[in-house]
Amino acid sequence: MMKLSKPSKELAERILAEVGYDNRLIGFRLHERLGAIPLTMYSFEEVVRLLNSPNPRLDFNRLEEWVRKIMGDEELAGKIREAAEKGESDQERTRRIRYVMNERLSQCKTFSSVKS
pLDDT in tens, 38-96: 999 999 999 999 999 989 999 999 999 999 999 999 999 999 999 999 878 999 999 99
Instruction: Indicate the pTM of the whole model.
Output: 0.90
- The sign of the dihedral angle between the CA atoms of 77, 14, 94, 28 is negative
For residue 110, the model assigns a pLDDT of 87
Measure Cα distances from 50 to 27, 28, 75 in Å.
8, 8, 21
With 70 as the cut, is the pLDDT of residue 22 above it? Answer: yes
d(CA 58, CA 60) in angstroms, rounded, equals 6
Residue 43 CA to residue 71 CA, distance in Å, equals 9
Q: Confidence band (pLDDT; 50, 70, 90) for 114?
A: low
Instruction: Check if the beta carbon of residue 74 is closer than 8 Å to that of residue 68.
Output: yes
CA 46 to CA 44: how far, in whole Å? 5
Q: pLDDT at position 32, please?
A: 85
Alpha-carbon span 46 to 41, nearest angstrom: 6
Can you tell me the distance from the alpha carbon of 100 to that of 48, in angstroms, rounded to the nearest whole number? 10
What is the spatial order of strands in the sheet that 56-57 belongs to?
A: 35-41, 25-31, 56-57
Q: How confident is the model at residue 115 (pLDDT cuts 50, 70, 90)?
A: low
Residue 3: predicted pLDDT: 85
Using the predicted structure, report yes or no on whether residue 1 has a pLDDT greater than 60: no
Side-chain half-sphere exposure of 105, counting CA atoms within 13 A: 16
